[in-house]
Structure 1
Amino acid sequence: MATLEQTIDVNVPVHAAYNQWLRFEDYPRFMEGVREVQERDASHLHWRAERHEQEVEWDTEFIERIPDQLISWREIDGRHRGSLAFEPLRPNVTRLRMHMEFDAIPIDKEGAMTQRIAQDLARFRQMVEAQNGSDTAQEAQGDSAHARSESRSGAQAWLRSQFAGWEDPMALVKKMTEEMDGLFSRYIGRPIAARFGEGGVAGKWMPAVEITQRDDRLLICIDLPGIPRQDVQLLIQRDKVTVEGERREPPARPEVPGFRRSERSYGPFHRSIPLPEGVNADTAEAAMRDGVLEISFAMPDPSAVGGRRVDIG
């Protein structure tokens, strides 16, 4: 039996992390290859996913659910079982401890499975922090942003402060991949990234985002190379922008022999970007040019956002 374990810290209270994990309809947003999860009853889930360009389905049942502490499950046919423990480290920080057991995993597939679980957890962290906010990250990064902008004021300083807690969600994925590469290179002699690059294995990805101010407009640019406009969905809400879509892999041509090395990633993506306080979502304008989605909003008056002083009678 093969056993895999992963640990990650998320900057939300334990009840927020636990409740988000029970939103099964959100699993396709952060689990690679998962297309749909249906809740059959209080104890059973039906899964539909894509593995190696083939659609697969299976059923799982919950073994134990302890609110804010533990969720454990097993696959009905017995091929794997797992658990996710929730450990409160601080009021706004929760440690997730994933434990998975498989009947058998080929030795050359263990690295791929380990990396996939790590990336799934990293995407879960990005999603739950975006939806619930991160007081710890905002405080730490807000202090740093304030130190860099002491001599600046006005609309630009206000805009920076609004995004002080917004971080690159791929930073953790990159860090974990580097650490795993080091581990595998010491004990196996071959980094994970190199193995995946040679094989051209596709994985979930997140497009890069840039947020800037141009005159009186707030501009959000999202890199979506190679994705047709009709495959991108844009939802603008009062306090955030959500972009979803899929970059499809070109169809395989097995009849044409040749060498292939790919570092590109394919599959669905999801980005949720918080809007600064005071930005009016009704002023949004969007256009897609040369593989870049541009979304702009009218900038609010910083003095109006900051409020006003009132004398106490």
Structure 2
Amino acid sequence: MSTLTRRDRGAEMARRFPMMDGVFEEWLRSLPMRRPFGLGWDWPGEDLIRVDEFRDGDTEVIRAEMPGIDPAKDVELTVADGVLRIKAERRVDEKSEDKGYTRHEMRYGSMTRTLPLPEGVQEKDISASYKDGILEVRVPIPAQPERSEPTKIAIKT
């Protein structure tokens, strides 16, 4: 005989709202448009870290494009409530201010990216490395328990 358990999905959904809010904000920032009334975002996606996500066997791999950043000083990588947050800051070299640029398009400042992680990920198992301007985060995905087929129960009449 099996027992039925009732899960409170309200608490789980309430936990996901801030995560979805962040994902929606990042999506809006990546659109090729300006915000109305001069409220920032002058360049599309200027503070958005671009990433590639893919699976390599039983590992989720996230590669973030971050050239010209010192990962030891300028990158903060955190995991909380099933969400990976990458925060980086690209700093301007003090000597470059006196050079009299004709064009100055290189961006400096803060960048962030928030990415949801698969269910059941253990924060202690996540690893990260930085090479040639690419931050690579490897997230081992736990094995999902096998789901059994429903059993048909005979009804006596």
Normalised TM-score (structure 1): 0.35
Instruction: Give the 3 Å change call, closer, same or farther, for CA 288–168 of structure 1 in structure 2.
Output: farther
Q: Secondary structure at the match of 2:52?
A: strand
Deviation at 1:265, TM superposition (A): 1.9
Matched residue, 1:279: 121
Query: Aligned runs of 1:1-313 on 2, under 5 Å?
Result: 131-133=18-20, 169-170=26-27, 172-177=29-34, 205-229=47-71, 230-251=73-94, 252-254=96-98, 256-257=99-100, 259-302=101-144, 304=145, 307-309=147-149, 311=151
Q: Which string of whole-angstrom CA distances, capped at 9 and with x for unpartnered residues, describes residues 175-222 of structure 1?
A: 323999xxxxxxxxxxx77xxxxxxxxx95111011111122110111
Q: Which string of whole-angstrom CA distances, capped at 9 and with x for unpartnered residues, describes residues 80-114 of structure 1?
A: xxxxxxxxxxxxxxxxxxxxxxxxxxxxxxxxxxx
Q: Secondary structure at the match of 2:142?
A: coil
Matched residue, 1:149: none
CA distance in 2, matches of 1:174, 1:311: 49
CA distance in 2, matches of 1:175, 1:253: 29
CA distance in 1, matches of 2:19, 2:47: 22
CA distance in 2, matches of 1:132, 1:168: 10
Instruction: Give the 3 Å change call, closer, same or farther, for CA 224–214 of structure 1 in structure 2.
Output: same
CA distance in 1, matches of 2:118, 2:26: 18
Deviation at 1:307, TM superposition (A): 4.6
CA distance in 1, matches of 2:90, 2:112: 11
Q: Secondary structure at the match of 1:253?
A: helix
Structure 1 runs of 4+ off > 6 angstroms?
Answer: none
The RMSD of aligned alpha carbons is 3.4
Q: Which string of whole-angstrom CA distances, capped at 9 and with x for unpartnered residues, describes residues 34-77 of structure 1?
A: xxxxxxxxxxxxxxxxxxxxxxxxxxxxxxxxxxxxxxxxxxxx
Q: Secondary structure at the match of 2:34?
A: helix
Higher relative contact order (CA 8 A, sep 6+): 2
Matched residue, 2:11: none
Q: Which amino acid aligns with 1:174?
A: L
CA distance in 1, matches of 2:105, 2:141: 38
Instruction: Give the 3 Å change call, closer, same or farther, for CA 241–250 of structure 1 in structure 2.
Output: same
The alignment-based identity, stated in percent, is 24
Instruction: Give the 3 Å change call, closer, same or farther, for CA 178–212 of structure 1 in structure 2.
Output: same
CA distance in 2, matches of 1:222, 1:307: 34
Deviation at 1:268, TM superposition (A): 1.3
Number of positions where the alignment pairs a residue of Structure 1 with one of Structure 2: 130
CA distance in 1, matches of 2:19, 2:24: 14
CA distance in 2, matches of 1:215, 1:308: 23
Q: Higher helix proportion, which one?
A: 1
